[in-house]
A = this chain, B = another copy of it.
Amino acid sequence: MSEPRMVEVRRKILKENDLLARSLRERFRSAGVQVISLVSSPGSGKTTLLERLLTDLGREYRVAALVGDLATENDAARLARSGAPVKQITTGTICHLDAGMIDRALSDWRLEDLDFLFIENVGNLVCPSSFDLGENLRVVLVSTTEGEDKPLKYPTIFNTADAAVVTKLDLADAVAFDLAALTRNIQGVRPGMPILQVSTRIGRGIAELELFLVSQRTAQAAARAV
């Protein structure tokens, strides 16, 4: 297999994805729905956090979620306990969601009926970075237990995200987590990126994160109205 041939195939796939993502973004915009995607390593706490966000934001807003995994419908079942509409996307052996999967999953949902749509990507710090899903906000989660070096080792996923959320704050002391080092490493690859901190276990930082997401939606709605 020649390398240039592979690169060419990859480029073509990415280009098709970007075109579809652009049309999704336009549909989201005109429907007035704020679309937030979550990316992280497996086990960083995406689903646990999302369950909480759907429950909390669902009291005031119309929320829904798409959730990607290679296999199982477990996460959709978990998230559906929040009462929000949830759809599982199983990718088989593919290590990321793409715009086509989002497009197909949304085919029988009315976007106008939603205020927030969350997309939980496959747990992976590499593959999802290259695939625009048309989201308004990409949030990268990194847990205190993963090590402060992750932004340096996986720069692209941090570079393509709009905000970072540090999860599992309740374990920070147990693992001698160094927030200053993580912050420095995040800012090194993505200067200026907002960094929030949460623990779903002890309920810390959740309100601040929700406020951040709501304010982002308000700001984007204001920008659209101009």
Interface residues on A, range: 35 or more
Q: Which residue in B13, B70, B74, B152 is a CB contact (below 8 Å) of A1?
A: B13
Q: Is the CB of B153 within 8 A of A42?
A: yes
Tell me how many chains of this kind the complex includes.
Answer: 2
Residues 124-182 (chain A) with a chain B CB within 8 angstroms: 124-127, 130, 143, 145-147, 149-150, 152-156, 168, 170-171, 174-175
Q: Is residue A30 within 8 Å, beta carbon to beta carbon, of the partner chain?
A: no
CB distance from A158 to the nearest CB of B (A): 11
Q: List B contacts of A155 (CB < 8 A).
A: 70-71
Q: Which residue in B1, B12, B124, B156 is a CB contact (below 8 Å) of A126?
A: B124
CB distance from A41 to the nearest CB of B (A): 4
Chain A residues close to B by CB (< 8 Å): 1, 5-6, 9, 12-13, 16, 41-43, 69-72, 74, 93, 95, 122-127, 130, 143, 145-147, 149-150, 152-156, 168, 170-171, 174-175
